Amino acid sequence: MRVLFINEVCGITSTGKITCSLAEQYEREGNEVKAAYGRSSFVPEKYRRLAVRIGTMRDVYIHAFMTRFTDRHGFYSRRATKKFLKQADEYNPDFLWLHNIHGYYINIELLFGWIKSRPSMKVFWTLHDCWAFTGHCVYFTMNGCEKWKTHCGNCPQKNSYPSSLIDNSRKNYDDKRRVFTGVNDMTIITPSKWLAGLVKESFLKDYNVEVRNNTINTEIFRPTPSDFRKKYNLDGKFIILGVSNIWEKRKGLEDFVKLSAIIDHDKIAIVLVGLTPKQIKKLPSEIIAVQRTENQKELAGIYTSANVFFLPSYEDNYPTVCLEAEACGTPVIAYDAGGNSETLNDSRSRLVKCGDIKAVKKLIENF
């Protein structure tokens, strides 16, 4: 069987690692496998044999630029998509597995036109967020918006990713509904029950929906000795850890700043991983900031060094960082939002109300 995966990146960040892990699984079972991607020129060496590039970074920049001024994310990259679909025709897959198809790299109208022209091809589509069934945003719970259930328009989040200067959410909603519905044999995969419930309320409700929890590599994420405490002079301190691929408002970076203001820094340290140099400059000096690392063994050592992992995410699907922390022996405190609760398995892990920093502080004192 010939299998084709499509995701915005290949082998990096959470979606890229999930995609390539599945691709390797199918390859081990004797299938021919390709993993197409469009963002980031970097692909880990072990996945390069699978990788097929869709367009170039120039195409990505043009798509992003046009989105900024038209709010038509997903409807550019026509030339790059046509070239890729010609390659896909030659490859002639029996099974297509979509992951993130947003990210300024592929034309969804051309892609789904091609999919619909192949009615015998089995299709899975894993949703890692809500973009597929909204007129603009990837998440909407922080704003309490429910327009996506009936018809988007006058979007309250046009400035959020994929950011735009104008609002075209009404047309986007109509076009996505037209483009994404009507596939002959497609199953929607969601990592969480929470997202599956939302899909069933959207215009994708007629598709079969399956919940398949994301998994992690427990050969890597397990209690791992490291020199992290010694390196950062943290011996004897209680470490609160936060990790994210991208620290943005919905991930709760500001809540770590608020927490930092009310803890005893002589006894407690906050460590954040995944920050940009610009973000690091803006943080209080008491917070220990670490840039993103693609070294998973190093990350496992950091998880193991921490006393508690804090996830102040207001919007999330099925955050694997919680799985990684617990696998390394570190309990989790997480906001009760999205699919966060579904990732907690350690009996010591706890949920708190979104934004309740005082409750987080109290739990930390109990730990």
Block means of pLDDT (10 residues each) for the chain, 367 residues, are 98 92 96 96 93 97 98 98 98 98 98 97 98 97 94 96 97 98 97 97 98 93 95 95 92 96 95 93 93 87 98 95 97 97 96 97 92
Give which of 334, 332, 341, 339 is closest to 355, Cα–Cα. 334
pLDDT of 295: 85
- Residue 333: count other Cβ atoms within 10 Å of its Cβ: 22
Helix axes 108-116, 169-180, angle to 10 degrees: 20
pLDDT of 41: 83
Q: Give start and end residues of each alpha helix (H) in the chain.
A: 13-28, 57-70, 78-91, 108-116, 169-180, 193-199, 228-231, 253-260, 277-282, 296-305, 320-327, 357-366
Domains of the chain as residue ranges with CATH = 2-211 (3.40.50.2000), 228-366 (3.40.50.2000)
